[in-house]
Amino acid sequence: MNLTVLTENVAGSRFLAEHGLSYLIELNGDKILFDAGHSDIFLKNAQAMRLDLYQVKIVALSHGHWDHGDGLKYLENKTLIAHPGIFIKRFRKGGNVNIGLKMTSEEIKKKFKFIPAPAPFAIRPDLIFLGEIPRANDFESKTTPFVDEYDQPDFVPDDSALAVVSPKGLIIVTGCSHSGICNIIEHAKKVAGLSRVYAVIGGFHLKHHDAQTRQTIDYLKEQDIEHILPAHCTELPAMTAFYGQFGITQVKTGMQLNF
């Protein structure tokens, strides 16, 4: 599997960056776009790398936040796979700016063939959209800075990820891990029927070097994962903790990873 970083918070040489995430996955001849950032930067970076996104037939959206899905307005005539909860309006507590998707459900369904996937959905035999992630452990997804359009706490139930089944083990690609990266990994293992995790890449949504970050690190050490690549919404204090334990590489736009 090849993964190209089209959009990330950190710019690589010659490439643009924004607060957002978009990865191009190439798997046995198929190309799948995972998230689209919030502007056309994913397209500009793809063009700089001479990658033809016209060949992409499937887009998977990790969740309904602006920095992962507003770039969808630059695409059309593709299949879009996502949890049906992506369309809700959402806000930061005390705020009045919608941080959900700018496009409405009607606009998205007009531009794309929309496949709602609240449960695991096999895009192909070796690639699974994980659907809604059970919040199973006692240290992740216990608080939230968000509320929904009904002024209820928003724990981002539409948060999901991809699991690639490879001969080396599972490769898990996540957008923001609002459901918790450990919860995501456990769900992926259960859905795929595999215990070995080879690589994890994407936003871990850890902000501090706190108890949750330490418990996450302990869990990942137990899993003996060869490639751990926290990115996007994983902030510096947590990144420092991951670097101290795993010697991680910073994920930047333009990177091409072969798992």
> Which pair of tokens denotes residue 232?
């996007």
**Axis crossing angle, helix 211-223 with helix 236-246, rounded to the nearest 10:** 30
Instruction: Say how far apart CA 51 and CA 24 lie, in whole Å.
Output: 9
Q: Average pLDDT, stretch 212-224?
A: 97
User: What dihedral do alpha carbons 232, 237, 240, 242 form, nearest 10°?
Assistant: -70
Q: Report whether 141 contacts 155 (CB < 8 A).
A: yes
Q: Cα–Cα distance between 182 and 137 in angstroms, integer? A: 8
Q: For residues 115 and 257, give the distance between their C-alpha atoms in angstroms, rounded to a whole number.
A: 28
pLDDT of residue 106: 97
Residue 19 · residue 9 · CB < 8 Å: yes
pTM flag (> 0.95): yes
SS3 category, 189: helix
Predicted local confidence at residue 254, as pLDDT: 98
Q: What pLDDT, in 10s, does the model give residues 161-187?
A: 999 999 999 999 999 999 999 999 999
Percent of the chain exceeding pLDDT 90 equals 99
β pairing state of 121-124 and 112-116:
unpaired
Token pair belonging to 10: 């950190």
Alpha-carbon distance of 65 to 44, in angstroms, equals 21
Say which residues have a Cβ less than 8 Å from residue 158's Cβ, sequence separation at least 6: 63, 64, 82, 83, 84, 85, 86, 88, 132
In sequence order, what are the beta bridge partners of 72?
none
Handedness of CA 63, 65, 68, 72 (dihedral sign): positive
Which whole-number Å values give the CA distances from 154 to 126, 142, 151, 227, in the listed order? 31, 11, 8, 31
Provide the domain count of the chain.
Answer: 1
For residue range 45-82, list pLDDT tens digits in order: 999 999 999 889 999 999 999 999 999 999 999 999 99
- Looking up residue 221, the CATH number of its domain turns out to be 3.60.15.10
Q: Residue 147: its pLDDT value, please? A: 97
Rounded distance between C-alpha atoms, residue 176 and residue 86, angstroms: 14
Q: Please, which residues bridge with residue 258 across strands?
A: 2
Q: Which domain holds residue 57?
A: 2-258
Query: How, if at all, do strands 78-82 and 90-92 pair?
Result: unpaired
